[in-house]
Chains A and B, each alone.
Chain A
Amino acid sequence: MDLGLTHPQRRLREEAASFCASVRPLLEADPEWQRQGMLSDGDSLAVNAALGREGWIGLSWPPELGGRGLGRLDATLVEEVFGYHWLPLSSYLLSYKTIGAALERYATAELRDRLLPPIARGELVFCQGFSEPGAGSDLGALSTRAVRKGDVYVVDGQKIWTSSAQLADWIYLAVRTSATEPKHRGISVLVAPMDTPGIEVRTFPTLGGGVLCEVFLDGVEVPVANLVGEANGGWTVLMHTLDFERITAEKVGGVSWLLDGVERHLAEHGRLDRSSRERLAALRGEAAAARLVSFRAADALDRGVPASHLAAMAKLGGARLVQRAAAAAVELLGLDGLAEGPAAAVGGRAAGMLRASVGSTIAGGAAEIQQLVIARRGLGLR
């Protein structure tokens, strides 16, 4: 193995860091950015538009779709840099990293040509309607129905915990298209503009400092042409989507920034002693492992080899890291670590991340689900 970065990869990361510095004023003016304890849950259309304008969305897509023809690994390397600079990334992660990946592979050429270029320009933002009140970990139990009537599907049901639905242009929907097929076989994936009649969104505040949404679907007509993958073949599409969602290098970047900040704060206050140095070093080691596990999963996706268990490892490693690092930051900083807001130690990010990190072992599939994927797909346990 050679796990060093190539010269072009290094340059790409430097360019990404310069871009992040250029959008810093946008971030500092945004009160949600100050409050949000998890950069990957944070959202800013202005930042997303800047990412698109400067060519940072869709690195792995071919130029004709608005990309740079690079790999998923390159994109993941850059996402870690975005995380280090604490960019609010929800729109980017949903639209490009997750849903974009599934559209690239499973959407019709027409749909792809219509949707991917505006995503890459930062002009079109997706949200992801998978979870429902009765279908969380057990996604296969979803009950939102789509009934075909001529050229349209008529969709009725409810989605919940939908990130970024309050500002998304389109929704990527998992729906039940057959009541008779076994659970996992009667599912399809549709995409629809959020301004389609019958779609309503309710937001509610979360512990992370942002909002999540409920999406109500009442007689929503979606053209059959908006089907992604085959009718009743949606489960494969969903699982593929999750493989991309679960690579979370940006979280590792956010943690690295936090650890650097904690170290600086302790040093400035004469509290950087041997035991805090050792604690920080061990966390940096854990971050290195989580980062490399993420990069390996991205590389597997680039090579088209089975990656579900590798992506689950990336997700689990990142989620555990975030929780351990946030807890350690608060412990090491003491009462300074409980303080919130820009005037506090590490800009209040220790307390913020402690709050928000609760969601990291839940979102994108609970930690226990990742463990099952690793055990079954990776270790072959039955």
Chain B
Amino acid sequence: MRFSIAEEPALFAISLRGALSGWEPPLEPTLATWWDEHDEALAGRVEALGWGELWLDAELLPVCVAGGAELGRALAPLSLLDRATLGGPLAVGERVRHPGGPDDPVALATPGSVGLARVEVVTREPALDGTGTCQMSVVSAEPVPDGAARLHAWAAATLGYLHGLAARSLEATVSHAASREQFGGPLAALPAVQARLADAALAVDGIELVAWESVSPGQPVTVWRDALAWAPGAACEVTASAHQVHGAVGFALESGVHRAHRRAWSARAWAAEVLRATA
């Protein structure tokens, strides 16, 4: 076992971080309206770095985790993750997220795999997060030989994303707790706050480790499935703790604290649906 990240994915993550720098998700979306955060310019920047077709070679799986973590840290649109690992927007059951144009194929979750499908958007569905969710019907679908590899790459990148998102959320909360004073001292000095953040730190590290285990050579496929069944919920606990420690200030949309919380819940529901559809 080795608990440090290899040089190649680490370097890739650094260049991805550069491409993502300056990008911020919208802080104050109108709630309960349909919105799609997909950003074509940003997609172009990350693709130019080689963030694409990541299922082609199992050697690229560590890049999925490390790159996914950078996307998660930036709270970048999930469309970047889906397209690079699946080859198109993610579709599962009767829904697709971040759909492209009518002629763009989507990656449809099927037992043990994904296939490529053409779908027709039926309605745009306002959702908790800016996933541009649409209800759709499948026009035609066909299997792809590397469908299982795409699914694995997507799961690895999703686990990385959850790690990045949770780590960012925890860091912001630690820094808030250190600077906000109540009862004559920083919140960070309160035992209840310390206990909550310690639990969050355990969750963040756990997510990181299961993400890397899911791409470590020689693992049975159940490893990523188990990891993906747990990690999104753990990330939601972290973002909930972030809200609790921020207090009312995090409840104001302008704080942006809610972005990670909504994204974590959204990722959780989509991951659960993918696990069901691919079981």
Contact = CB atoms under 8 A, between A and B. Distances in A.
B27 to A, nearest CB: 10
A124 to B, nearest CB: 26
A358 B253 contact: no
A371 B190 CA distance: 14
Interface string B156-181: 00000000000000000000000001
Interface residues of B, number: 42
A352 to B, nearest CB: 7
B128 interface: yes
A204 B254 contact: yes
Contacts of B266: 338
Contacts of B37: none
A354 B273 contact: no
B133 A339 contact: yes
A205 B253 CA distance: 6
A206 B252 contact: yes
B31 interface: yes
A348 B126 contact: yes
B201 interface: no
A338 B133 contact: yes
Contact of A335 (B28, B33, B93): B93
Interface string B35-49: 000000000000000
Interface stretch (A59-67, A102-110, A130-138, A144-152): A130-138
Nearest to A133: B249
Given A338-B133, A348-B126, A207 B258 contact: yes
B269 A337 contact: yes
B128 A338 contact: yes
Q: Indicate the size class of the contact surface on chain A.
A: 35 or more
B32 A338 contact: no
A340 B128 contact: yes
B126 to A, nearest CB: 4
Interface string A28-70: 0000001100000000000000000000000000000000000
A362 B253 contact: no
Nearest to A356: B251
Interface string B210-235: 00000000000000000000000000
A351 B183 contact: no
B253 A204 contact: yes
Nearest to B248: A161
A358 B243 contact: yes
Contact of B252 (A204, A341, A371): A204
Interface string A322-349: 0100010011001101111100100010
Given A207-B258, A348-B32, A362-B248, A354 B128 contact: yes
Nearest to B255: A207
Contacts of B33: 340
A327 B92 CA distance: 21
A17 interface: no
Nearest to A326: B265
Contact of B273 (A208, A335, A341): A335
B126 A362 contact: no
A309 interface: no
Given A338-B128, A368-B192, A209 B247 contact: no
A308 interface: no
Contact of B32 (A34, A131, A160, A331): A34
B12 interface: no
Given A334-B273, A335-B269, A338-B269, A358 B128 contact: no
B261 interface: yes
A297 interface: no
Given A138-B182, A335-B93, A352 B269 contact: no
A141 B128 contact: no
B186 to A, nearest CB: 12
Contacts of A206: 251-253
B269 A362 contact: no
Contacts of A34: 32
Nearest to A131: B248
A49 to B, nearest CB: 26
B244 interface: yes
Contacts of B244: 361-362, 366-367
Contacts of B95: 335
Of B33, B125, B129, chain A has the most CB atoms within 10 Å of the CB of B125
Contacts of A331: 268-269, 272
Contacts of B183: 137-138, 141
A15 B251 CA distance: 35
B148 interface: no
A209 B32 contact: yes
B265 A330 contact: yes
29 contacts: A35-B32, A131-B248, A136-B248, A137-B182, A137-B183, A138-B182, A138-B184, A161-B251, A204-B252, A204-B254, A205-B252, A206-B252, A208-B251, A209-B31, A212-B248, A212-B252, A335-B93, A335-B269, A338-B129, A338-B133, A340-B31, A340-B33, A340-B128, A344-B126, A348-B126, A354-B128, A355-B128, A358-B251, A359-B251
Given A334-B273, A335-B93, 20 more contacts: A131-B248, A136-B247, A137-B182, A138-B184, A204-B252, A205-B254, A209-B31, A212-B251, A330-B265, A330-B269, A331-B269, A338-B127, A339-B126, A340-B31, A340-B33, A358-B251, A363-B248, A366-B244, A367-B244, A368-B192
Interface of A: 34-35, 131, 134-138, 141, 160-161, 204-209, 212, 323, 327, 330-331, 334-335, 337-341, 344, 348, 351-352, 354-355, 358-359, 361-363, 366-368, 371
The 5 A-B residue pairs whose C-beta atoms are closest, nearest first, are A340-B32, A138-B182, A340-B126, A351-B128, A161-B248
